[in-house]
Amino acid sequence: MERQLVERARRGDREAYETLVRRKVDAVLRTALAVLGNEADADDAVQETFLAAWRRLPTLRDVDRFDAWLGRITLNACLMALRRRRGVREIPVTDTTSAEPIDRAASDFDAAAVSADAFDRAFGRLSVDQRAILVLHHLDALPITEIAARLGIPGGTVKSRLHAARRALERALAAEDRP
Partner 1 sequence: MNFDDDALRSHLARRASGAAASDRLADSVAARVGRTDQPPAWRTWWADRAPAIGSAGVAAVAVIVAAIVVAAPPAQPGASTEPGPIAGYPDRRALTADELARVVAGTPAGLWGSGAHVVADVGIVREPIPCDYGATSIPCPTGYLAGVEPRVQVTESIALLVDDELVPPFLFQLRAEWPGSLFAVGEVASAPGALARSLDAFIDHRKELAPGARPPSEVFLVDAWLVQTDAAYRCVPPTGDVHHRFACGDATWLAPSGERASEAPAAGVRVQNAALQLFGRGPAPRQPERAIFAVALEDPVSCFQCPPAGAARIVARIDPIE
Output the smallest distance, CB 149 to partner 1, in A: 17
Q: Which is nearer to partner 1, 92 or 156 (CB)?
A: 92
* DSSP codes, 5-43: HHHHHHTT-HHHHHHHHHHHHHHHHHHHHHHH--HHHHH
The whole-angstrom distance between residue 94's C-alpha and the CA centroid of its chain comes to 19
Q: How far is the CB of 95 from partner 1 (least distance, A)?
A: 3
Q: Please give the residue ranges that form the binding site for partner 1 (CB under 8 A).
A: 12-18, 21-22, 25-26, 29-31, 33-34, 37, 39, 43, 46-47, 50-51, 54-59, 84, 88-97, 99-102, 104, 109, 111-117, 119-120, 123, 134-135, 138-139, 166, 169-170, 173-174
Beta carbon nearer to partner 1, 39 or 64: 39
93 CB contacts (<8 Å, ≥6 apart)? 115, 116, 117, 120
